[in-house]
Amino acid sequence: MQINGGSGQVTADEIKLLINNGHDVYFFTLSSPNYFSGINTFPLKRDGQIVYPEPKYPSIRFFLQLYFSIRLYKAFKKTIKQLKPNIIHLHEVRKGTASIVLAARHSGVPTVQTLHDIHLACMSEFGLNKKTGKVCLKGSLVHCIKNKCAPYSMILKYGLLWKITQWIDKHYIQVLLCPSKFLLKTLAKLGYRNLHYLPNLSSLENKNSRITKKNQILYVGRLVEIKGIIFLIKAFEMVAIKHPNLKLLLIGSGPEKENLQIYIKEHNIKNITFTDTIAHEKLKLHYQQSSISILPSIGFENMPMNVLESFSCGTPVVASNIGGIPEMVKDNITGMLFKPGNYIDLSSKILYLLSNPSLLKKMSINCLNTIKSTYNEVSHYENLMDIYKSLIKKSEDYKSFYGKQE
């Protein structure tokens, strides 16, 4: 796994939390041995990484890793046998899912998996019928084809794999950890029973509260369609009429960058700066210097980490009222919510906050208090340990009972 983006940071934070609490943690990854070189934020020493080299030829790599690789299965099972772990915790397993999960299951080690998005409920990960705009979280390939939610090329390439992943996660993993109640309720409706609510934690520390705010608003995340950045740019264009010196900083990378830059140039919008993805710790300064951070998603989010990161730095969030976001951003308390895709509504919320500095200051305090009370390391660790211990006890009881039977 690459340690960037929300899911990678959640993994790194959780590993670091476990190590700091005295646990031995080993990280099994499908990548080249030098994949993590130069990534200082990754907490594991090199001897804690178990690297499985990917097949050399792309066609073989695609088929064997996406569907089933006996070589990967044996490698992971051998690793389990050597390390004898009490628990296996999976994050963002998109390659070799069947090989990894079946090896864990056949080794008899309790397995949990953190879900970082709504992939099990929607192949396109938008969660919406693009034709009608209506919610479509059916977890059905038929719906994807009928409503053209995903391109046919994607359906042909990944459709069967998606169904296999759903089956494996539903029947072979003991606990699926849902960071949002929205995701838990969505999957429960689809028949998943192995669900447990566990929100992510925030690892950004706000030790310097005296940093001067710039006349700036901020977006951090991937530059992809689902994030709705075009609506943020349109809203900024309207806001800039009353605040001509206001700046918009967009931090991230992705396929939409060129389209966004073309739109900005064609509409002659000033004071918008793009910055490529930067190290997690360096994000802190940008959050602290910004008056507001924006999350303009038009698709269903699970538990976006940029909200927690912003809260950790005392920066209120203006975000789309969709998916798991309203569980995090409390309207008029830690930020404001707007209708997804409605840039007029978004612009009005930004203007309102910019004209109410006292409210922004109050929200900033609320953001910091929210991190301390809800998304702190202590409560996350305690809840995670409860899940681990419960699974381990069930496994031991099961082995003990059937051992006596034999």
Does the structure show a pLDDT above 70 at 35? Answer: no
394 vs 103, higher pLDDT: 103
Tokens of 127: 């969660």
Tokens of 366: 């609320």
Q: How far, in Å, CA of 173 to CA of 192, rounded?
A: 11
Q: Look at 39-48, 297-306, 352-361 and tell me which has the smallest mean pLDDT.
A: 39-48
Strands (E), 158-262: 175-178, 195-197, 216-220, 247-251
Q: How far, in Å, CA of 288 to CA of 364, rounded?
A: 10
Local confidence band at 9 (pLDDT 50, 70, 90 cut-offs): confident
Superfamily name with CATH number, domain 5-202+377-405: Glycogen Phosphorylase B; (3.40.50.2000)
User: What average pLDDT does range 348-376 have in this prediction?
Assistant: 96
Q: How far, in Å, CA of 214 to CA of 229, rounded?
A: 21
Q: What is the pLDDT of residue 44?
A: 43
User: What average pLDDT does range 75-99 have in this prediction?
Assistant: 90
| Termini Cα distance of the chain | 41
Tokens of 314: 């005392």
Does the structure show a pLDDT above 70 at 403? Answer: no
Strands (E), 340-379: none
Local confidence band at 399 (pLDDT 50, 70, 90 cut-offs): low
Local confidence band at 156 (pLDDT 50, 70, 90 cut-offs): confident
Q: What is the pLDDT of residue 228?
A: 96
Mean pLDDT of the chain: 87
User: What average pLDDT does range 51-74 have in this prediction?
Assistant: 71
Q: What is the pLDDT of residue 62?
A: 64
User: What average pLDDT does range 95-121 have in this prediction?
Assistant: 92
Does the structure show a pLDDT above 70 at 406? Answer: no
Contact 21, 294 (CB under 8 A): no
DSSP 303: -
Q: Do domains 5-202+377-405 and 216-374 have the same CATH topology?
A: yes
Contact 224, 126 (CB under 8 A): no
Local confidence band at 59 (pLDDT 50, 70, 90 cut-offs): low
Over the range 93-119, which residues count as b (16 or more CB within 10 Å of their CB) and which as e?
bebbbbbbbbbbbebebbbbbbbbbbb
Q: What is the pLDDT of residue 287?
A: 95
Q: Look at 94-103, 145-154, 173-182 and tell me which has the smallest mean pLDDT.
A: 145-154
Does the structure show a pLDDT above 70 at 39? Answer: no
Q: Please name the amino acid found at residue 160.
A: L
Does the structure show a pLDDT above 90 at 257? Answer: yes
Local confidence band at 216 (pLDDT 50, 70, 90 cut-offs): very high
Local confidence band at 223 (pLDDT 50, 70, 90 cut-offs): very high
What percent of the chain clears pLDDT 70, i.e. is strictly above it? 86
Does the structure show a pLDDT above 90 at 262? Answer: yes
Q: What is the pLDDT of residue 3?
A: 47
Q: What is the pLDDT of residue 343?
A: 98
Q: How many CA atoms lie within 13 A of 219 on its CB side?
A: 30
Q: What is the pLDDT of residue 40?
A: 37
Does the structure show a pLDDT above 80 at 396? Answer: no
For residue 76, CA distances in Å to 12, 54, 103, 118, 388 come to 20, 13, 6, 26, 20
User: What average pLDDT does range 200-223 have in this prediction?
Assistant: 83
Q: What is the pLDDT of residue 140?
A: 87
| Class of domain 216-374 (CATH, top level) | alpha beta
Q: What is the pLDDT of residue 318?
A: 98
Q: What is the pTM of this model?
A: 0.89
Domain limits of the chain?
A: 5-202+377-405, 216-374
User: What average pLDDT does range 352-364 have in this prediction?
Assistant: 96
Tokens of 75: 């490698």
Contact 257, 224 (CB under 8 A): no
